[in-house]
Amino acid sequence: MAHGIFIGGGGEAYGQAQELLLNRANRHGLVAGATGTGKTVTLQILAEGFSREGVPVLCADVKGDLSGISQSGSAEHKLHDKLLSRADTIGLAEYDYRATPTIFYDLYGEQGHPVRATISEMGPVLLSRLMDLTEVQEGALTVAFEYADAQDMLLLDLKDLRKLLVHLGDKQVMDEVSREFGRISSSTLGAIQRSLLMLERDGADLFFGEPALELADLMRTDTDGRGVVSVLDATRLINSPRLYSTFLLWLLSELFEELPEVGDPDKPKLVFFFDEAHLLFNDAPKALLAKIDQVVKLIRSKGVGVFFVTQNPRDLPESVLAQLGNRIQHALRAYTPSERKAVKSAAESFRPNPDFDTETVITELGVGEALVSTLDEKGRPGVVQRTLIRPPSSRLGPATETERREILSASPVAAKYDKAIDRESAYEILEKREAEAAKEAERLAREEEKAARELEKQKSRKTSTSSSRRRSVIEREGSRIVQNVLKDGFRYVLRGIMGGRRR
C-alpha cells in the first residue's frame, strides 16, 4: 500500500476520506477556487504533508499568510475549537500542533534570503518574455548572448547586459557582429536598453547577480528527515507579475535541465506550488506556451511534482490541464454566463459521482470544503468526492516579523546568499578594454604630436640650411667679381703708367 497525504473527507454529508498518494504526486495537480474559499489552507496542509514524508517543498506566499507554516498552531488561537471540531468530524485522531521546517526567500531580500539568478542562466528567451520584446528585438538579444559567449564574457547582472548593448552599438563592432551573427540595428539595441531600464525600475536589478540560487538548497531535509518548505515571499513580487511568472518558469526550467531522470519514484524529490498560476500564461507567445507545456509534461520524470493554484481551471491552457492528475476544486461562483461556463467546464473535468451533480455542488461548497479527485495506485482518476479539508498543524495566519527574523538568523543558507558578490564579468571586461583603448589612443596622439613637432623642426632646419647655402654662393660669386674688377683696374692703371713712360 502506497503512502499518502491525508487531505480530508469524513462526516455523513461527505464521501470517503481522501488522500494524495506520494507515488502519484509527480503527476502534478490543481488547486482551484474563488477568492476566500480556502485555497491557501489547502496549499498549507499539502505542504505540511509532503514535509512530514520527507519531501522538500517550494511555494510562493502571495498574501503573506503562508508564512505561518513556520510556526506551530496553538490552543490560544481563536479558531482552536473549530479546528479540533473539524479534526474530529473527519476522523483525524492524531491531530496535533507542530511547526514545519521553513526557509524564507525573497527576490528583493526584504522578507527572506535574496534569490538571484544570472543573466546567462535566464537566457534570451525568458529575458525577452520578461521585457516583452518583439521577435526582432529577441533576435538582437540572442545575437548579444552569442557575441558574449564568443568573447568569453560572463553576463551576470543587468549592468553587464547594459554595457554589452552599449558596446554593440559602436559602429565598428556592430558591423563585425552583423557579418558574423546576423544584422542588428542601433534602434533595436536602443529599444532593448529602454526595456532594461523599465525592468530595473521594477526591482529586477536585485534579482540578477550572484551568488545565484542553487537548486540543491530547495531540496533540503532537516535532521529529523522532514522536507524543508522554501517559502518565496511574493507579497511585493506579485505587483510585478511578469517578473513573478518568469522567475518561477525559470526555476521549473532549471529543475528540468539539472535533475536526472528517475521515472516514477516512491515519492517526489521536490514539489513545486505555483500560486496565481494564470500569470504564467497571460499574454504568453505560442513558443513560450509550448516550452511550458513541454517542461510540465517531462519534469515529472525528474521526480518533480507541480501544483498550479489559481481561481479558475480555465486560467490554464487545455494542454497543461490535461497533465494535472490530482485535483482539488474549491467553490466557484456563477453570477454571469461566463462564470456558469467556467463552472460547467470545471465539473466536466472530474470523473462523475453518481451520488450528486458535480456542477451544482461546485457552487454550493462552503469555506474549507472542496471536490477532490486524486490518482489511484494504477494512475486512474478517482471518482470525485465532496470533502472537508483537514485543519493544518501549523499556524493559520502569518508569522510575526520577530518570528520571521529568528528563522532567518538561524537559517542554514544565511551566510551563503545574504551578501552579494560581483566578480569580473562583461561590464568589467569591457570597461578594461575601453580604458586600454583610451590609453592607447592617448599614446598614439602623443606620438603623432611628437612626430609633427619633429617634422616641423626638420622643415625649419632645411629652410635654414638652404638659406645659408644661397648666401655662400652669392658671397663667393661677389668676391670673385670684386677680385676680377680689382685685377682689371690694376692692369688698366699699370698699362697707363707703363704706356706713358714709353712715349
Among residues 89, 49, 95, 93, the alpha carbon closest in space to that of 75 is found at: 95
Task: Tell me which of 205, 223, 241 is where a domain ends.
Answer: 205
| Same domain, residue pair 43 and 150 | no
- For residues 237 and 182, membership in a common domain is answered with no
Specify if 375 maps to a domain.
Answer: yes
Q: Final residue of a domain: which of 400, 417, 434?
A: 417
Same domain for 26 and 104? Answer: yes
> What is the dihedral sign for C-alpha 36, 91, 224, 79?
positive
Per-residue pLDDT of 110-133, as tens digits, reads 999 999 999 999 999 999 988 989
- At 76, the pLDDT band (50, 70, 90 cuts) reads confident
Q: Are 297 and 173 found together in one domain?
A: no
pLDDT band at 263 (very low <50, low <70, confident <90, very high): confident
Average pLDDT over residues 338-365: 92
Average pLDDT over residues 434-456: 89
Q: Are residues 219 and 237 in the same domain?
A: yes
Is 92 inside a domain boundary? yes
Q: Please name the residues in contact with 493: beta carbons below 8 A apart, sequence gap of 6 or more.
A: none
| Section 445-455 average pLDDT | 88
Residue-level pLDDT at 56: 98
95 plus 80 within the same structural domain: yes
Q: Considering the entire predicted model, what is its pTM?
A: 0.85
Of 205, 236, 259, the domain-final residue: 205
Q: Concatenated DSSP letters for 318-382? A: HHHHTT--EEEE------SHHHHHHHHHHHHTSBP-TTS-HHHHHHH--TTEEEEE-B-TTSPBP
- Tell me if 482 is assigned to some domain: no
Compute the average pLDDT of residues 290-302.
90
Q: Residue 487: what pLDDT?
A: 57
The reply to whether 360 and 383 lie within a common domain is yes
pLDDT band at 452 (very low <50, low <70, confident <90, very high): confident
Residues in the chain: 503
Does residue 471 fall inside a structural domain? no
> How many angstroms separate the CA atoms of 386 and 9, rounded?
7
Does pLDDT of 334 surpass 60? yes
**Grid cell locating 106:** 525573497
Within a 13 Å sphere around the CA of 107, how many CA atoms are in the beta-carbon half?
Answer: 27
SS3 57: strand
pLDDT in tens, 189-245: 999 999 999 888 888 889 999 999 999 999 999 999 999 999 999 999 999 888 898
489 located within any domain: no
For cell 506550488, what's the residue?
273
Domain count for the chain, please give it: 2
What's the whole-number average pLDDT of the chain? Answer: 89
What does the pLDDT read at residue 497? 42
CA distance 246 to 233: 15
Beta strands in 74-227 (DSSP E): 102-106, 113-114
State whether 163 and 112 are in the same domain.
no
Q: Are residues 24 and 171 in the same domain?
A: no
pLDDT score recorded for residue 30: 96
| Residue 462, domain member (yes or no) | no
Question: What pLDDT does 13 receive?
Answer: 67
CA distances from 6 to 50, 52, 176, 195, 240 (A): 10, 11, 63, 47, 35
Question: 97 and 154: one domain?
Answer: no
At 81, list the grid cell. Answer: 475549537
Residue span of the structural domain in which 51 resides: 4-116+215-417
**DSSP structure string for 418-464:** SS-B--S-HHHHHHHHHHHHHHHHHHHHHHHHHHHHHHHHHHHHHHH
DSSP H or E run through 30: strand 29-32
Same domain, 79 and 185: no
411 and 350 both lie in a single domain: yes
User: Could you say which DSSP state residue 191 is in?
Assistant: H
Interval 325-353 mean pLDDT = 92
Residue 270 falls inside a structural domain? yes
Q: What is the CATH number of the domain that holds 400?
A: 3.40.50.300
Query: Considering the domain boundaries, does residue 73 fall inside one?
Result: yes
